[in-house]
Amino acid sequence: MAPRGGRQMKILGICGSPRNGNTEWMIERVLEAARNAGAETEHILIKDWDIRLCTGCLTCEMTDKQTPGVCVIKDDMEAILGKMLAADAFVFGTPVYFYMLSGLLKNFMDRTIPIWPLLKNKTAAGVAVAEDAAGKALENLRTYADVCNLEWIGDVSAYAKDPGDLAANEGVAAALGGLGRRVVGGTEQ
C-alpha cells in the first residue's frame, strides 16, 4: 500500500441502509480487502448516528474555499464531517430504493454542504444492492462524487433481498475485494 504523504491511508465506509443488511456486508468486504492491503478503515453506519434532516437553510455554506462552514444543527454530523476531512477515500454504499439511492444516504450527502468543496481530490468507490434492478443508484453515488470532485475508483452492484443473502456469493465477494484493493492502489477500473 502506498501511504499518502508518508502515513497510512484512511478509508471511510458510509452505509446508507437502515438495517444491518447486504449493503453493510458489501462495504465491509471492500474495507476488509483495503485493511489487508495496509489501509486504516472505519465503517460509518448512518442509521446508528444522530444525523437529522438538512433544513436547507444554507447557513453552513462556505464563504471562501478554505474554511469549513458551520451547520446550525448540533448532532453527530459535525464529528463525521471531521472524519471525512481526515479521510483519503470513501466507500459509499446504498440499498436500491425505487431505482435510486436510499433517503438515508441522500440526507447524509446533503449534510456535507459545510465541507464539500474541501473533499476535492480525495477518491471514492461505490456499492449498491437491489432485489432485482439497480436502476440509477450507482449513478446517484457517482453524481455526488463528480460534484465534489472526488476521483471515482469504481463500483460493484449485487442482487439480494434479505440480510445474509450475499454471504455465500463468492463472485460478489471477489469483486468487492478487488474494489478494496483498487481503492488503496488508487487505480480506476
C-alpha cell belonging to residue 3: 501511504
- The yes or no reply on residue 156 touching ligand FMN (CB under 6 A) is no
| Binding characters for ligand FMN, 162-181, by CB under 6 A (x = yes) | -x------------------
DSSP assignment of 92-131 equals EEEE-BTTB--HHHHHHHHTTTTTGGGGTT-EEEEEEEES
Question: In terms of DSSP bridges, do strands 89-95 and 40-45 run parallel, antiparallel, or are they unpaired?
Answer: unpaired
> What is the nearest approach in angstroms of ligand FMN to the Cβ of residue 167?
12
With binding defined as CB under 6 A, does residue 95 bind ligand FMN? Answer: yes
Site string for ligand FMN, 18-57 (x = CB under 6 A): -x-xxx----------------------------------
Buried b (16+ CB within 10 A) or exposed e, 4-40: eeeeebbbbbbbbbeeebbbbbbbbbbbebbeebebb
Nearest to ligand FMN of 117, 163 (CB atom): 163
Q: How many residues at the interface with ligand FMN, by CB under 6 A?
A: 19
Q: Does 68 bind ligand FMN (CB under 6 A)?
A: no
Q: Give the residue, chosen from 129, 148, 173, 179, that forms a contact with ligand FMN under the rule CB under 6 A.
A: 129
Determine, following the binding rule CB under 6 A, whether residue 83 of this chain makes contact with ligand FMN. no
DSSP state, 7?
A: B
Contact with ligand FMN (CB under 6 A): which of 57, 86, 133, 167?
Answer: 133
- What is the CB neighbour count within 10 angstroms for residue 72? 8
Instruction: Give the pairing type, strands 89-95 and 151-159.
Output: unpaired
189 closest CA partner among 120, 133, 142 = 142
- Provide, rounded to whole angstroms, the least separation between the CB of residue 17 and ligand FMN: 3
Q: Which is nearer to ligand FMN, 4 or 136 (CB)?
A: 136
